[in-house]
Amino acid sequence: MCDSSRLEVVAAEFAAYAHAHGNRVCYFGAGDRLDDRYVDDAAWSRVLLGAQPVWDPRNWSGVVAKRGSLRAQFNRARNKGVTVTEWPPAKAENHDALRRVLSQWLKTRRLPPLHFLVEPETLSDLRDRRVFVAEREGREVVAFTVLSPVPERNGWLVEQIVRGFNAPNGTAELLIDTAMRSIAVSGSTYATLGLSPLSQRAGFTQPRQPAWLRVALRWVRLYGARFYNFGGLDAFKAKFNPEDWEPIYAIAEGASFPPGALYAIAGAFSGGTPIRLVLRGPTLESFCSAPNRGPFQCLPAPSSRETDCRNREGSHRRPARPPSPASKHHRRGRESPGRLKSLEVHRAAARARRARRRRRVEAS
């Protein structure tokens, strides 16, 4: 959060302040700038948290041109009457329609908001942000996205992509497309969708870690799936064909990554002791009752017919056709009139064949 030329001084001041209060330093979500500062310092260690996709918005048209699947998603949303416009911060701030969509989206999350990493409450202060809103048929707000500035890189972070219950398939993709084209026109040269936890797409080779840390990270990958679909999030971001993936680290004091730093990170997520985060896993009700919205939600698989209707109609499911008389009779254990007639024809033919065989036997 400072000019590159002052990074060394600011980092030293921060460490001195922490030490003066009996604490040690751990940078969570550090990028290349901090990594370059500490990579050769034996008194510091790092662990890879994941990667974030980045683009130069000026090249966005070429990115879309290479991905027919993206263009198909844009068209699916447009065909359902979805249009995306940018709202001024003064209009978007605390807007009732946006709060309704945010409330719907939060109901699909399987854990309380983790304010330490992602702050869902952004609508109360949008002074330095850009807001793009998706409306259906020009009447109903169905989704929105919030972009936060990255001043030192002349760019923007897509901080939130929020979909309501009535957002058709392709709405999130259309929001990102509109936002990318808009910030490109304004002269931005950097854009990112933010951290994809546990992603290996940056091509970073993790140095040898202590055995306890390897076990802990493996446990996070396995146990974390209870709360977040890390693979689905990573695939969603990757389908936009990023120009690069930047590694994101946790950098801590110590020749090897200290257990206390990992415990502190988990405590920041849980809002207290990390044991609370482990014990308050999603309930059965959260698995069964929340609507399946967004690419990151893991819920029981719908029936094949329901899946087909969702894929074609987005959030508006095609009403099921009434059962045909044949299927109704079949479920009740009776034959339909048409099938009865067909069976009678086959039985009559079989009786005729048997009669012919008997006559041949008698004649011989």
DSSP letter at 255? S
**Which of 86-95, 162-171, 203-212 is least confident?**
203-212
CA distance 319 to 75: 23
pLDDT, tens digit, 9 for 90 and up, residues 235-291: 999 999 999 999 999 999 988 888 888 888 777 766 666 666 555 554 433 333 333
Residue bearing tokens 């930047």: 246
* Percent of the chain scoring above 90 in pLDDT: 43
Cα distance between the two ends of the chain: 106
Name the more confident of 353 and 285. 353
CA distance 294 to 302: 15
Q: Which of 124-133, 212-221, 273-282, 322-331 has the highest mean pLDDT?
A: 124-133
The domain over range 4-289 is classified in CATH as 3.40.630.30:
yes
Residue bearing tokens 């409330």: 103
Name the more confident of 210 and 226. 210
Q: What integer pLDDT is reported at residue 247 of this predicted model?
A: 92
297 burial type by CB count under 10 A (0-12 exposed, 13-18 middle, 19+ buried): middle
Largest CA distance in the chain: 117
CA distance 257 to 240: 33
